[in-house]
A and B are shown apart, each in its own frame.
Chain A
Amino acid sequence: MKVKLFSIIVVYILLCLFSLPVNAQNDNSSDKGIKLGGYLQTDNRLCLKGDNEFSWQEYRLGLKAEAKPLEKARFYSEVWLRSWGFPNVQNISDLKDKNMVSTWNLDLREAYVDFYSFLSDNIDIRIGRQRIAWGTGDKFNPTDNLNPYDLEDIWDFGRHLGSDGFKISYYPGDFTFTVVYIPLFTPSVLPRGNWASALSQPMELPNGLTLGTLTDTIDLPQKNLKEGSTIGIRVSKNIFDFDFSLSYVHARDQLPLANKITFIPTEKHEEVDIKSQLIYPRMNIAGIDLAGAIGSIGIWAEAALFFPEKIKMITDLSSLGMGIHESVALDNKLYIKYVIGMDYTFKNGIYLNVQYLHGFIHERGAANLEDYFMFGLEWKLLDNKLKITPIAGGIEIKEFKDIKNNYAIIYSPMITYYPFDNAEITFGLRLIDGKDTTSFGRVKDYDELFFSLKYNF
């Protein structure tokens, strides 16, 4: 009922807004037509270990459309049409299905309408599928919790899905107030293939037991405003030459959490199948971020205080005659994720970017937050035709007291060549080493070489 009411209100607002052209025919906007643009991007990755298989092959056509029918209204959309290089064929009947032979998908990234100076000169609203990027960190943003993660490509850090909702921005004086409302919950997309293991903890079994099959079910929140909605509020202001923001988000965790595990014995001796049930806990997140400069060095910092709901974990061992055990999957105790970063451009044009991150995307609870040092060094040469990134990557440290057994290193040098306007060709490596106790250490066997081409039009 509430969803219906909400839909009616949204439709009504849209109808009212589209009636505005009557008053706006005299606008002097010179660009009222639809502008089309986009890019073609190919991305090929080859495993350096094992049989040197391709680990990724993506051909993406990104299409963007933008229109300003009125001075105070703007439409924008972006669609990805993608073809995946790997056929999904397992039998002859699959060969008759073109989508199985040549897999592709269509992804509506964003589609929204902006209304400027709506009702008041100081209010802008945006309605539709949109990306709301909060935070000052470089691709790692603990306060960016409105849109679900799009972790499909684990190396495209910071990518999020668009969310269907609205954003109201109010600009009184030097302040900016933003309110976001997203009525329904959308889960995050997890990494494709083996990369998902970087974000999941290995399953620990009782002594003597081996794992048969592992199945899971996910309980999505109900499709109503109470259970599925996300609310965000943010206030920003420049103080002492630093841009400050305070934010609050009432949302659900973007990644699922297991709250029930059932062990079922198989016919094999000491082997068990495991069924797990996962949910998305409610979170209240208070955030603060800043950006500015100390001397000539650019700096930024961002912190998010997570107040999760308490989630109990039920471990059902009754089939093994060991009863049902109850523990805590997620305690309702505050934990803080943060990022601090700086960048600098040297006189010779070399650009350096360094960040320290406490708490990665998938980590929850104060005791489980790890530390990451990210770095990148770029050098543009030959009249900006060549960009060399000899040093780029990160170091993950799970436990400072025993670094030797709790570290991972990612090293990803690359070269980008810009042969002419709108075109870029990138060639690089991703090398990973570390211990299985760490997130990236678990994917250390997936070193790869990558080659991508992008052309904008």
Chain B
Amino acid sequence: MKKITLSIFLMLGIIMSLPQDLPAEKQLTALQILEKVDDVINAPKDQDLKIKLILVDKNGKEKIREMSMLQKGSDKRMVKFLSPANQKGIAFLSLPNDIMYLYLPAFKKVRRIASHVKNTKFAGTDFTYEDMEAIRYLEKYNPELMKKENDSYILQLKPKKEVKTDYSKLVIWIRADNFYPFKIEYYNKNRTLYKIMLREKIEKVNGYWISKESEMEDLKAKHKTKMCIVNVKFDSGILEKQFSKRYLNR
């Protein structure tokens, strides 16, 4: 009898120690959740996007930028500015192992981007060069499950030791039904919240989930960048070689 009572207490103890609202039998680990996130956001073999960026300053004044973005798998991305005129032709290439290149038409040269540039603003937007990289979160961050709400998971991501980043942590809200992240908080090295990204209009296109509108807000500068997907093509057969310096100035 004593053994049975002890066992019941032990089981209760284990259940009580689990995060609230999480039924023990359906619980996914933080690693499993983040793996699913990576799989969902990088599900297409390739992506061809036309994007409109709306930069909004603290007075509500807007600036418009247009760009095209190609992505292959989860680790190669090419971004080219289509407008305004003074940024047209600027191209950015992100490759695995933190290798990034920038093509500036005025100099007729492809320049390697060192990591000190990664944390600077990308062409005046609230996205940094690091934010523009194509990534799998699991490769850069150690996840920790903070909470499970009715329809979402909240993970805290801390960068792995070997990862060079200016973020001390990310807190990421993930839809429980499709594992698509819809809110990300970015904390700087001082552990202060300084940017928030919200993803809206999360829709399924050709079988893949995508957010057609997102917004990155710099809380200190009170500046926002809205990113609207104008056109999207998935699995159009983009070639591996298109993610090379050769294609940066085409």
List residues of A whose CB falls within 8 A of some B CB.
37, 39, 74, 114, 116, 124, 131, 133, 158, 169, 171, 176, 238, 241, 243, 291-293, 295-299, 343-345, 347, 349, 383-384, 421-422, 424, 456-457
Give the residues in chain A near B113, CB-CB below 8 Å. 298
**Chain A min CB distance to B53 (Å):** 12
Interface residue B201 (Cβ < 8 Å from any Cβ of A): no
Known: A298-B117, A383-B57, A421-B63. A456 touches B244 (CB 8 A): no
A295 vs B115: C-alpha distance when bound (angstroms): 8
Q: Which of B99, B120, B166 contacts A349 (CB 8 A)?
A: B120
A344 vs B113: C-alpha distance when bound (angstroms): 11
Main secondary structure of the interface of B (DSSP, over half): loop
- The reply to whether A383 and B86 form a contact with Cβ atoms under 8 Å apart is no
Known: A133-B108, A169-B246. A456 touches B86 (CB 8 A): yes
- Apart from A241-B97, A344-B116: 9 A-B pairs, beta carbons within 8 A: A37-B88, A74-B250, A133-B108, A169-B246, A293-B116, A296-B115, A383-B124, A456-B84, A456-B86
Give the residues in chain B near A349, CB-CB below 8 Å. 120
Write the chain B residue with the least CB distance to A114: B250
A114 vs B250: C-alpha distance when bound (angstroms): 9
**Chain A min CB distance to B145 (Å):** 31
A241 vs B115: C-alpha distance when bound (angstroms): 12
Known: A133-B108, A298-B114. A176 touches B221 (CB 8 A): no
Which of A74, A297, A422: most chain B CB closer than 10 A?
A: A422
Write the chain B residue with the least CB distance to A294: B114
Known: A171-B246, A238-B99, A298-B117. A456 touches B124 (CB 8 A): no
Q: Which of A74, A241, A345, A424 contacts B117 (CB 8 A)?
A: A345
Interface residue B109 (Cβ < 8 Å from any Cβ of A): yes
Give the residues in chain A near B119, CB-CB below 8 Å. 345
Interface residue B112 (Cβ < 8 Å from any Cβ of A): yes
- The reply to whether A176 and B85 form a contact with Cβ atoms under 8 Å apart is no
Give the residues in chain A near B120, CB-CB below 8 Å. 345, 349
Interface code B129-169, partner A: CB below 8 Å = 1, 0 otherwise?
00000000000000000000000000000000000101000
Interface residue B111 (Cβ < 8 Å from any Cβ of A): yes
A344 vs B115: C-alpha distance when bound (angstroms): 9
- The reply to whether B86 and A422 form a contact with Cβ atoms under 8 Å apart is yes
B159-204 contacts to A (CB < 8 Å): 164, 166
Known: A384-B124, A456-B86. A291 touches B112 (CB 8 A): yes
Report the 8 A-B pairs with minimum CB-CB distance, sorted nearest first: A298-B114, A293-B114, A456-B85, A456-B86, A296-B115, A296-B116, A421-B84, A291-B112
8 contacts between A and B (CB under 8 A): A158-B107, A243-B112, A297-B114, A298-B112, A298-B117, A422-B84, A424-B86, A456-B84
Main secondary structure of the interface of A (DSSP, over half): strand
Interface code B15-37, partner A: CB below 8 Å = 1, 0 otherwise?
00000000000000000000000
Interface residue B45 (Cβ < 8 Å from any Cβ of A): no
Write the chain A residue with the least CB distance to B107: A133
Write the chain B residue with the least CB distance to A121: B241
- The reply to whether A297 and B84 form a contact with Cβ atoms under 8 Å apart is no
Write the chain B residue with the least CB distance to A299: B114
- The reply to whether A421 and B86 form a contact with Cβ atoms under 8 Å apart is yes
Which of A298, A343, A349, A457: most chain B CB closer than 10 A?
A: A298
Give the residues in chain A near B86, CB-CB below 8 Å. 39, 421-422, 424, 456
A345 vs B164: C-alpha distance when bound (angstroms): 15
Give the residues in chain B near A299, CB-CB below 8 Å. 114
Give the residues in chain A near B58, CB-CB below 8 Å. 383
- The reply to whether B111 and A291 form a contact with Cβ atoms under 8 Å apart is yes
Give the residues in chain B near A116, CB-CB below 8 Å. 250
A345 vs B166: C-alpha distance when bound (angstroms): 13
Q: Which of B57, B63, B164, B244 contacts A296 (CB 8 A)?
A: B164
- The reply to whether A298 and B108 form a contact with Cβ atoms under 8 Å apart is no
Interface residue B223 (Cβ < 8 Å from any Cβ of A): yes
Q: Which of A74, A133, A343 contacts B109 (CB 8 A)?
A: A133
**Chain A min CB distance to B91 (Å):** 14
Give the residues in chain A near B64, CB-CB below 8 Å. 421
Known: A176-B245, A291-B111. A39 touches B97 (CB 8 A): no
Give the residues in chain B near A456, CB-CB below 8 Å. 84-86
Write the chain A residue with the least CB distance to B85: A456
B48-86 contacts to A (CB < 8 Å): 57-58, 63-64, 84-86
Write the chain B residue with the least CB distance to A144: B109
Write the chain A residue with the least CB distance to B99: A241
Known: A241-B99, A345-B117, A421-B63. A37 touches B107 (CB 8 A): no
**Chain A min CB distance to B178 (Å):** 31
Which of B108, B113, B114, B221: most chain A CB closer than 10 A?
A: B114
Write the chain A residue with the least CB distance to B115: A296
